């Protein structure tokens, strides 16, 4: 635990581009919305890659289910705009069926090679029994597929050779991995100043959150708990990650 750290927002040196890979529209906003704003404020170019269209989400029967993918993509684009993120990519997999298959891994490797990030943020591939909703099977699949893409596929020019041979995408080595929803976080980002915009971004996911009157209070409570775990002063809010320095 790095509780003795006095730095509020620690972004590894040399990070100019970050890629966030999550399972569903709204996952990045719940787990890392404030952190994305901290990165953008620090001048980091941020790209979102959303694996599924969240087509199993929602809370009422009045919406035509066939409209859900388009609605949720639009909501994610609107939430990203709150942070100033304009590069949002969708892989279009079916909600609830995500697996760390070679197809999914290759699609993530493609985006990694296109974006060339030094930092990747994703979801924990490990189940957190204390907070089971953070360990939705799609979340673990997105995290696992991303971990497999990070090592070794994205850096190996002979992995998924069609990416290089047909699309001209050269191997790329990512330096840092941050996992949200991890059972053993070791890195906390102070998100206090970004809280109102995090709430605004979550409100943009109206098909998921418009019925949640307690949304703001819930987000504040989570942020306070994570700030406390990270050793921040009372009144601060934070988001928690497991930070991994990937091999050179
Ligand atoms: Zn989710």
Q: What are phi and psi of 92, to 5 degrees?
A: 80, 20
Query: In angstroms, what is the span from residue 62 Cα to ligand 1's centroid?
Result: 22
3-state helix, strand, coil in the chain (%, to 5): 40, 15, 40
List C-alpha distances in Å: 235 to 33, 68, 162, 232. 18, 38, 51, 8
What is the reported pLDDT for 58? Answer: 73
- For ligand 1, the distance from its centroid to the CA atom of residue 138, given in whole angstroms, is 7
User: For residues 83 and 201, is the Cβ–Cβ distance under 8 A?
Assistant: yes
Q: How many CB atoms lie within 10 A of CB 90?
A: 18
The values of phi and psi at residue 18, to 5°, are -130, 140
| Cβ < 5 A residues, ion ligand 1 | 24, 27
Q: Which two tokens stand for residue 186?
A: 């070791």
Output the pLDDT for position 62: 80
Distance 70 CA to ligand 1 centre (A): 17
Q: Looking at residue 132, what DSSP letter applies?
A: G
pLDDT in tens, the chain (248 residues): 444 444 477 999 999 999 999 999 999 999 999 999 999 999 999 999 999 999 887 777 888 888 999 999 999 999 999 999 999 999 999 999 999 999 999 999 999 999 999 999 999 999 999 889 889 999 999 999 999 999 999 999 999 999 999 999 999 999 999 999 999 999 999 999 999 999 999 999 999 999 989 999 999 999 999 999 999 999 999 999 999 999 99
Domains and CATH numbers, the chain: 17-245 (3.40.50.10320)
Burial of 17 (0-12, 13-18, 19+ CB in 10 A): middle
Distance 132 CA to ligand 1 centre (A): 11
Percent of the chain topping pLDDT 90 = 88
Find the 33 Cα to ligand 1 centroid distance in Å.
14
DSSP state of 87: E
Give the pLDDT score at 91. Answer: 98
Q: Rounded to whole angstroms, how far apart are CA atoms 96 and 199? A: 26
pLDDT at 122: 98
For the whole model, what pTM was predicted? 0.95
- Both tokens assigned to 66: 């066939």
């Amino acid at each position: 635990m790095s509780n003795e750290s006095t730095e509020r927002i620690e972004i590894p040196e040399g990070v100019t581009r970050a890629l966030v890979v999550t399972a569903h529209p709204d996952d990045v906003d719940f787990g890392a919305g404030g952190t994305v704003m901290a990165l953008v404020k620090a001048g980091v170019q941020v790209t979102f890659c959303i694996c599924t269209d969240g087509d199993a989400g929602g809370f009422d029967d009045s919406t035509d289910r066939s409209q859900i993918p388009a609605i949720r993509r639009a909501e994610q684009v609107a939430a990203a705009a709150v942070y100033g993120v304009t590069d949002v990519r969708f892989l279009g997999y079916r909600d609830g069926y995500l697996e760390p298959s070679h197809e999914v891994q290759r699609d993530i490797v493609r985006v990694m090679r296109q974006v060339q990030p030094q930092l990747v943020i994703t979801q924990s591939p490990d189940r957190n029994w204390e907070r089971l909703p953070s360990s939705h099977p799609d979340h673990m699949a997105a995290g696992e597929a991303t971990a497999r893409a990070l090592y070794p596929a994205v850096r190996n020019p002979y992995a998924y050779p069609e990416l290089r041979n047909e699309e001209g995408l050269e191997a790329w080595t990512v330096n840092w991995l941050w996992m949200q929803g991890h059972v053993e976080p070791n890195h906390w980002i102070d998100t206090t100043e970004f809280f109102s915009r995090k709430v605004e971004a979550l409100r943009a996911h109206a098909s998921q959150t418009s019925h949640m009157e307690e949304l703001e209070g819930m987000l504040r409570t989570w942020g306070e708990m994570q700030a406390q775990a990270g050793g921040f002063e009372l009144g601060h809010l934070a988001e928690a990650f497991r930070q991994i320095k990937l091999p050179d």
